[in-house]
Amino acid sequence: MAQLEQLDGVIAFVEAVSLSSFTAAAEKLGITKSAVGKSVARLEARLGVKLLHRTTRRLTLTPDGEAYYASCRHALEEIGAAESALAATSQALTGRLRIDAPVAWGRQFLLPILTGIAKKHPGLTLSLSLADRIIDPVEEGVDLAIRFGESKDTSNLVMRKLTEQRTCIFASPDYLAVRGHPTTIEDLQHHDGIVGFRRDIPATWRVTAPNGTVERILPRVTHEIGDGAAIVDAAVAGLGVAQMPISIVADHIANGRLVPLLEDATDVNVGIYAVWPASRHLLPRVRHVVEVLVEEGKRGGLGAPGK
Q: Indicate the residue type of 74.
A: H
Which amino acid belongs to residue 161? K
| Strand pairing category for 157-171 and 242-245 | antiparallel
Residue 238: what residue type?
G
Rounded Cα distance, 186 and 193, in Å: 13
CATH class (in words) of the domain with range 92-307: alpha beta
Q: Are 89 and 82 in contact (CB under 8 A)?
A: no
At position 104, the amino acid (one-letter code) is A
> What whole-number distance in Å separates Cα of residue 76 and Cα of residue 72?
6
What pLDDT is attached to residue 55?
78
Q: Which pLDDT does position 181 carry in this prediction?
A: 94
At 79 the pLDDT is 73
Phi and psi (nearest 5°) for 196? Answer: -80, 170
Largest CA distance in the chain: 77
d(CA 267, CA 248): 15
Which CATH topology does 2-87 take?
Arc Repressor Mutant, subunit A (1.10.10)
The H or E element spanning position 61 is strand 59-61
Sign of CA dihedral 107, 248, 288, 281: negative
How far, in Å, CA of 176 to CA of 261, rounded?
10
Cβ-based neighbours of 102, under 8 Å, separated by 6 or more? 130, 131, 132, 146, 147, 148, 228
Return the pLDDT at 174: 97
CA distance 18 to 55: 16
Are 2-87 and 92-307 the same fold in CATH? no
Q: Torsion-angle region of residue 240: left (phi > 0), alpha (psi -120 to 50) or beta?
A: left
Q: Cα–Cα–Cα angle for 253, 107, 105, nearest 5°?
A: 55
20: exposed, middle or buried (Cβ count in 10 Å: 0-12, 13-18, 19+): middle
Question: For 40-98, how does the pLDDT look when each residue is reduced to its tens digit (9 = 90+)?
Answer: 999 999 899 999 988 777 788 999 999 899 888 878 876 765 666 555 545 578 888 99
For the whole model, what pTM was predicted?
0.65
Q: What was the pLDDT predicted at 172? A: 97
Domain ranges of the chain: 2-87, 92-307
In the chain, which stretches have pLDDT less than 70? 1-6, 8, 78, 80-91, 151-155, 199, 280-282, 304-307
Is the separation of the CB atoms in 77 and 66 below 8 Å? no
Quick one: pLDDT at residue 153?
A: 62
88 exposed, middle or buried (CB, 10 Å; 0-12, 13-18, 19+)? exposed
Torsion of CA 219, 225, 226, 230, to 10 degrees: -120
The phi, psi pair for 287, rounded to 5°, reads: -60, -40
Q: What is the CA radius of gyration of the chain?
A: 23
Task: Supply the pLDDT for residue 1.
Answer: 40
